[in-house]
Amino acid sequence: FSSLELTQALLERIKRLDSQYNSFITLSEEQALLQAKAADASRAAGHATPLTGLPVAHKDLFCTQGIRTSCGSRMLDNFVSPYNATLVERLNQAGMVTLGKTNMDEFAMGSSNESSYYGPARNPWDSQRVPGGSSGGSAAAVAARLVPAATGSDTGGSIRQPAALCGITGLKPTYGRISRYGMIAYASSFDQAGPMTRSAEDAALLLQAMAGEDPLDSTCAVHPVPDYRASLNNSLSGLRIGLPKEYFAEGTDPEILQRVREAVAEFEKMGAQVKEVSLPNTQLSIPAYYILAPAEASSNLSRFDGVRYGHRCAAPKDLEDLYKRTREEGFGTEVKRRIMVGTYALSEGFYDAYYRKAQQIRRLIQQDFVRVLQDVDVIMAPVTPCAAFPLGEKNSDPVSMYMEDVFTLSLNLAGLPGMSIPCGFSGHLPVGLQLIGNYFDEARLLNIAHQYQ
Ligand code: GLN
């Protein structure tokens, strides 16, 4: 069948079913049909890539020319970007068809999608439960088979955690592997885009098209991009797996720990060797992250002032009133909380006690990983302490929401790549296995995931 037929069928399916999942904020039907026709034409002319004609959805923080980019916020509810993010551009070049923009926590701050201005997306496995966040719309859309692949971003877990909660595959590459140009910044030294798909092979295809040097982002790595599909079938015999004891402690759903151990046993059958390792500073990752990420966010979000982008309050009295009311009206509660925490941490007299201390902890956490990854090829761990939780359960208690990130944050602090792959169920809810690799070792993570799947 043609890309046009596939695109039409999926658009129809989204219109029929997405009122249950709320996974899309914007559908880009017209552009999608044009892209699909163009893809069919290039296929007929023999110019196809493996992605030509395949539909994709973008998390709504990637700028898309001519399609609204809201970042899940009232602040950008009316914002249409004049240009494409680099990764959007690259997937367009590869021939992919953009169906629309997916729901997310406001400015990517959250773990449940409940901070979205557009209301939460819902978990396709149980619509009374959260899909995770902040890339909850992308995860729900892929899990509900509304689209075969989506993009996400991961600052502290936002690809891996929703992938785990929705039972799909999510890859957060090494910091700098994919350009951040045109990706609305939350915490610039952590933010990294990545693919959310049904399989590791699909993730490899998307990463292949998205990764690599970009003159428009000076933090984007100048590092060769290997052929990610070429190594998918490598043998895992002799693979050295580390299990960090701090990730298997009490407090995690025992069913989740059991599924992870069962997955590790499968790898042993494939010839892998397993040993216990220690990442002793793990418990410091939540406090360090929740100083550093809000500090960077408070700075990044200062650009939303009612002058340059998006929302502007009505009839401002003067400039001060314009700033104040625009931001009061445009930002939701969690975003305001982060701006206040971040501004406080960066203010004169508190900088040394909070920001500098947190940076020092960040380095210690990174050194833990560097040391362990000299002895093992991959670290395996749970992704989340519990399976998908009911809507509303954690939303009024920010600290319990922050605890959700306990197993995902530390590798963003270190800049390392990580992946979540489905490894069974706790009751009726999916469980994710986390794979953590060394810098730029995405090919190995994809290989490991592919052999398991
Ligand atoms: N849940 C974390 C936060 O709220 C991580 C979010 C993310 O990765 N974008 O900051």
Rounded distance from Cα 384 to ligand 1 centre (Å): 13
Percent of the residues in the chain that have a pLDDT greater than 90, as a whole number: 98
- Establish whether 134 is a catalytic residue: yes
Residue 347 C-alpha from the chain's centroid? 30
**102 DSSP β-pair partners:** 24, 59
Whether 95 lines ligand 1, by a CB cut-off of 6 Å, is no
* Angle value at C-alpha 93, between 90 and 97, nearest 5 degrees: 95
| Residues 172, 129 contacting (CB under 8 angstroms) | no
Looking at residue 110, its pLDDT comes to 97
Rounded distance from Cα 109 to ligand 1 centre (Å): 5
β-pairing, 169-172 vs 418-426, is antiparallel
Percent composition of the chain: helix, strand, coil (DSSP 3-state, to 5): 40, 15, 40
Query: What DSSP string runs through 354-384?
Result: IIIHHHHHHHHHHHHHHHHHHH-SEEEEES-
Whether 109 lines ligand 1, by a CB cut-off of 6 Å, is yes
Whether 72 lines ligand 1, by a CB cut-off of 6 Å, is no
Pocket test for ligand 1, best of 106, 155, 289 (most atoms within 8 A of CB): 155
Q: Which residues contact 25 (CB under 8 A, 6 or more apart)?
A: 60, 68, 70, 72, 100, 101, 102, 103, 104, 116, 118, 137
Rounded distance from Cα 158 to ligand 1 centre (Å): 6
Distance from the first to the final alpha carbon of the chain? 27
Q: How confident is the model at residue 339 (pLDDT cuts 50, 70, 90)?
A: very high
The C-alpha atoms of residue 183 and residue 59 are separated, in whole angstroms, by: 10
Looking at residue 162, its pLDDT comes to 98
**Nearest Cα to Cα of residue 54 among 102, 15, 4:** 4
Q: How confident is the model at residue 83 (pLDDT cuts 50, 70, 90)?
A: very high
Give the ligand 1 atom nearest the CA of 158. Answer: 8
Whether 170 lines ligand 1, by a CB cut-off of 6 Å, is no
* Tokens encoding 299: 């700075």
Whether 106 lines ligand 1, by a CB cut-off of 6 Å, is no
Whether 296 lines ligand 1, by a CB cut-off of 6 Å, is no
Give the ligand 1 atom nearest the CA of 401. Answer: 1
Of the candidates 70, 115, 134, 153, the residue annotated as catalytic is 134
Q: What's domain 3-210's architecture?
A: Alpha-Beta Complex (3.90)
* Tens-digit pLDDT profile for residues 187-209: 999 999 999 999 999 999 999 99
The C-alpha atoms of residue 387 and residue 385 are separated, in whole angstroms, by: 7
> For the chain, what are the domain ranges?
3-210
- Establish whether 189 is a catalytic residue: no
Looking at residue 206, its pLDDT comes to 98
Pocket test for ligand 1, best of 113, 130, 158 (most atoms within 8 A of CB): 158
The C-alpha atoms of residue 228 and residue 163 are separated, in whole angstroms, by: 20
Instruction: Report ipTM for this prediction.
Output: 0.98
Q: How confident is the model at residue 272 (pLDDT cuts 50, 70, 90)?
A: very high
Of the candidates 23, 111, 158, 179, the residue annotated as catalytic is 158
When pLDDT is averaged across residues 224-228 and rounded to a whole number, the result is 98
Of the candidates 3, 23, 59, 101, the residue annotated as catalytic is 59
Looking at residue 361, its pLDDT comes to 98
Mean pLDDT rounded to a whole number for the chain: 97
Q: Which residues contact 320 (CB under 8 A, 6 or more apart)?
A: none
Whether 405 lines ligand 1, by a CB cut-off of 6 Å, is yes
* Tens-digit pLDDT profile for residues 110-135: 999 999 999 999 999 999 999 999 99
- pTM, rounded to two decimals: 0.98
Whether 285 lines ligand 1, by a CB cut-off of 6 Å, is no
Q: For 93, how many CA atoms within 13 A lie in the half-sphere containing its CB?
A: 10
Q: Quick one: how many helices (H) and strands (E) in the chain? A: 14, 11
Looking at residue 132, its pLDDT comes to 98
* Tens-digit pLDDT profile for residues 147-157: 999 999 999 99
Looking at residue 397, its pLDDT comes to 92
**196 DSSP β-pair partners:** 150, 170
